[in-house]
A and B are shown apart, each in its own frame.
Chain A
Amino acid sequence: MVNKKITAKRVALLGVFAAVAVALSAAENMIPPLPFMPPGAKLGLSNIITMFLSMNGMLIPSVFISLAKGIFSLLTRGVTAGAMSAAGGILSSLVIFLLAKNKKESLISLGITGAVSHNLAQLFVSFFIVGDTVFYYAPFLIVFAVISGSITSLIMKYTSTYAARILGGKDKL
């Protein structure tokens, strides 16, 4: 990453990915909460973008997109939501980036650990706001992360080749 030039193509692609991530999270807000879901839990469809980038070694673009998503949440749903979104995105990007260095690590394990770390980061942010009562949610969030992480990685299985094609072969963002 360090020696790479900032080219127009790279900036444009980053913008495209950020736009897709924001669009996905906006679309997701329109889905009504399902009865079995813990209060406040979401599927995290936009995490597909950050997962794709960080698992292919593009940690910094992934963190950038997490911040873009955080700013979007900040504008539409307030400071708390913004901080939680950014914290979740950045931690899960980091976790996926590190785990993906092992090329045998499966998509589903990356998706699930990403979702778990995302939810736990959010839990810690809310811990600083309301106190230890929020840890009551932890088991629900972990179980739900297994489900949402599996869904994310399943979508990834069928879409990552197209996303890689947009990037243009081995070119990294």
Chain B
Amino acid sequence: MKRPFFRPSDIILVAALLVFGGVFIFMPKNEGKTVEIMADGELKATLPLSIDTEYAVGEVVVVIEKGAARIEKSDCKDKICVGTGKLKNKGDTAVCLPNKVSVRVSGYRETDGVTW
């Protein structure tokens, strides 16, 4: 017997996944006030978004400009952290796995991370 490509009950699976993801993606966002810079699982610095500045953790350079933070430079190969772009809403996060550095706008509700 040949396996079907699609069966009607798949709509439930697709809808459930899209709704689940969509709810978190389109949740109302608030602009954050500070960013937390973590390296090796430790909090290295908490910087206000309102003041333009630059902060370096090893080879990763974080720039805060016009109320948004971003990873400006990194020596890693894939540059996923740089490609993430501007972070300004609560919970916005850029991660550089090779350097074990993450930058996150403070005010992220912890329960979202625990209960999903």
CA–CA, A64 to B41, complex, Å? 32
Interface contact B100-A145, CB-CB below 8 Å: no
Q: How large is the interface on A (under 10, 10 to 19, 20 to 34, 35 or more residues)?
A: 35 or more
Q: Cβ of B78: which chain A residues have Cβ within 8 Å of it?
A: 40, 77, 81
Give every chain B residue within 8 A of A126 (Cβ-Cβ).
Answer: 95, 97
8 Å CB contact of A108 from B6, B23, B104:
B6
| B-side contacts of A15, CB under 8 Å | none
Known: A40-B78, A108-B5. A135 touches B13 (CB 8 A): no
Interface residues of A in 79-137 (CB under 8 A from B): 80-81, 103-109, 112-113, 116, 126, 129-137
User: Number of contacting residues on B, CB 8 A?
Assistant: 42
Q: How far is the CB of A152 from chain B (nearest CB, A)?
A: 12
Q: Which B residues lie at the A interface, using CB under 8 A?
A: 1, 3-7, 9-10, 13-14, 17-18, 20-25, 38, 41, 77-78, 80-81, 83-84, 91-95, 97-98, 100-102, 104, 108, 110, 112-113, 116
List the 8 closest A-B pairs by CB distance, nearest first.
A139-B24, A143-B21, A139-B21, A142-B21, A135-B113, A40-B80, A136-B93, A133-B102
- Pull 29 A–B residue pairs with CB atoms less than 8 Å apart, ordered by A: A77-B77, A81-B78, A103-B3, A104-B7, A106-B7, A108-B6, A109-B7, A112-B14, A131-B38, A132-B110, A132-B113, A133-B93, A133-B104, A134-B102, A135-B112, A135-B116, A136-B104, A137-B93, A138-B21, A138-B116, A139-B21, A139-B24, A139-B25, A139-B116, A140-B21, A142-B20, A142-B21, A143-B25, A146-B21
